Structure 1
């Protein structure tokens, strides 16, 4: 049975606000080895928000990058088409990306039932290496722990997805992926609980109001 692993990342106009970029890599096992077989990147034109200077400073994305980009509906349909048919797992670094997709889908009144088999790779990684309760590793620190060189630009969707994929490949045999076939329908009825997780990389870079310094955990 063909199984694809979709490692994706989003950039937003603010914390859990409108999505302005999707980046992803697609992996599958080839001769027993997880291999990147394709990439996806798409800017998205926000419906009401603008890209302010703080977001441009953090991500490098400008208002001109998204001004003529596809809408959220068009972009997510393209993303869904790129994911393809068959069995797949959607994986992100933290829960925030999933909530951003759900919030935007509700805002645009556009169902995304394809948001299934979602797994939080940051949580899986942190459970492997955590030394204090509730601690989550930032992406940069996780790469350093595994002695993996960070590539590309931090806080750009495709580059963050690629770096997350490196961690995913390295730890794949040590983590368990869960199937949740109704993850969109179930979780859209819940309100995300805002929990602050201070990571060392946030403190080192002194990024104020970083949308990645706040992570929304699913309400149990």
Structure 2
């Protein structure tokens, strides 16, 4: 890709963000299951249509200064499959006690609404479209509005693909390929959100 093409792509990203003062970088972890190769065949304990968010991590970037100015992290208590699978606990490092002591999706939604009221004039972004789809799934399962309903969503992975050649698809691979320091534990909502924010800052700086 030519330098000119990259500059044009960067300009298009900046134009998309121009109406906003803040960008929320968001990552969700959800209930999940997978049959290990060493296991006998069995039904999944959590089917994809019933995946529920168990952690939301959100990092606020001030688009004028490109500084991180706030964070939000909450565990969420799942209702359909309240017991985490062994696969889920290993993947996310989230413990059963973390979700047992957490609030429901609706209650966390109220806390998040109060938090984002402090940083209005915002859009939100995630690595890929999974998080946007998961919020819609959660809202349908809980029969309530999506946590970030009404806010414009952007896909950071698509932005990155337009700026860099041969980009790795995984978040951790991408951070390391960009020469950035990986922060925290992979597949933890708040840590992944921080790393998405570092990619955004690097692209825009």
Same fold (TM over 0.5): yes
The structure where strand makes up a greater share of residues is 1
Paired residue secondary structure (2:88): helix
**What residue in structure 2 maps to residue 212 of structure 1?**
none
1:96: how far off?
0.4
Give the count of matched residue pairs: 168
Q: How far apart, in 1, do the equivalents of 2:168 and 2:149 lie? A: 27
Structure 1 runs (4+) deviating above 4 angstroms are none
1:86 equivalent in alignment to 2:120: yes
Contact 1:18 1:104 in 2 (8 A): yes
Q: How far apart, in 2, do the equivalents of 1:72 and 1:96 lie? A: 18
**What residue in structure 2 maps to residue 155 of structure 1?**
187
**What residue in structure 2 maps to residue 58 of structure 1?**
91
TM-score (norm 2): 0.76
Root-mean-square deviation over aligned CA pairs: 1.9
Contact 1:130 1:136 in 2 (8 A): no
**What residue in structure 1 maps to residue 102 of structure 2?**
69
Residue from 124, 129, 135 that aligns with 1:95: 129
Q: How far apart, in 1, do the equivalents of 2:68 and 2:173 lie? A: 22
Residue from 99, 104, 127 that aligns with 2:162: 127
TM-score (norm 1): 0.71
- Once the two structures are superposed, the pairs formed by residues 131-210 of structure 1 within 5 Å of their partners are 131=166, 137-172=169-204
Q: From the CA coordinates, give the structure whose radius of gyration is larger.
A: 2
Q: 1:146 to 1:136 in 2, by over 3 A?
A: closer
Q: 1:124 to 1:2 in 2, by over 3 A?
A: closer
Paired residue secondary structure (1:33): coil
1:12 equivalent in alignment to 2:30: yes
Q: Note the residue ranges of structure 1 that are not aligned, 5 or more in a row.
A: 174-220
The structure where helix makes up a greater share of residues is 2
Higher relative contact order by CA 8 Å / sep ≥ 6: 1 or 2?
Answer: 2
1:130: how far off?
4.1
Q: How far apart, in 1, do the equivalents of 2:96 and 2:176 lie? A: 32
Q: How far apart, in 2, do the equivalents of 1:136 and 1:105 lie? A: 31
Query: Cα deviations across residues 1-22 of structure 1 (Å, max 9, x unaligned)?
Result: 8711100100000256100000
Q: 1:20 to 1:46 in 2, by over 3 A?
A: same
